[in-house]
Copies of this chain bind each other. A is one copy, B any other.
């Protein structure tokens, strides 16, 4: 496991500039079907995280990935980040079954963002454990040295000690499913 600069791009004009500085581009949920952007990133051949639109079916998500693949970009990582449902105790309902469905129909790696799905740090550990056990290939976790003072997304961010504790808890689960952290 390593560290990488992942930067969201929201407009096709930004792709060239951002790809010079970021190791991995990110297409946010709201842009999953911004096909102009997808084609531009596809041509760039940059590694890219494609977040699932929060009301996109798995099938539509894989179709969006095809826009990247069709331009010859093979470094595509899918990211499940929750879907919009009627449930109101979380910001988005993490669709845990999407991991197995993606693995059934695609060779692409799929990572999980439990922080944006839950919207509250109390729920993040349980969702991370579930994601690893379900077969996710990675996690995108919000961490902040001082969550109370974070400018955005503080409520869903883990502190560094919470993050370290969680990593320790995740390790044996990862091993149980033949992976390592």
A interface residue count range (under 10 / 10 to 19 / 20 to 34 / 35 or more): 35 or more
B-chain residues with CB within 8 Å of residue A173 when the two chains form the complex: 133, 173, 176-177
What is the CA–CA distance of A36 and B33 in the complex, to the nearest angstrom? 15
Least CB distance, A111 to chain B, in whole angstroms = 15
Nearest-CB residue, chain B, relative to A95? B93
Q: Is A77 an interface residue (CB 8 A)?
A: no
Which of A37, A87, A101, A177 has the most chain B CB within a 10 Å cutoff? A87
Interface hits, A25-59 → B, CB 8 Å: 30-31, 33-37, 54-55, 57-59
**21 residue pairs A–B, Cβ–Cβ below 8 Å:** A30-B34, A59-B88, A59-B89, A83-B85, A83-B86, A83-B87, A86-B86, A90-B101, A93-B95, A96-B96, A99-B126, A100-B127, A101-B123, A103-B126, A104-B122, A104-B123, A129-B135, A130-B130, A172-B175, A172-B176, A175-B176
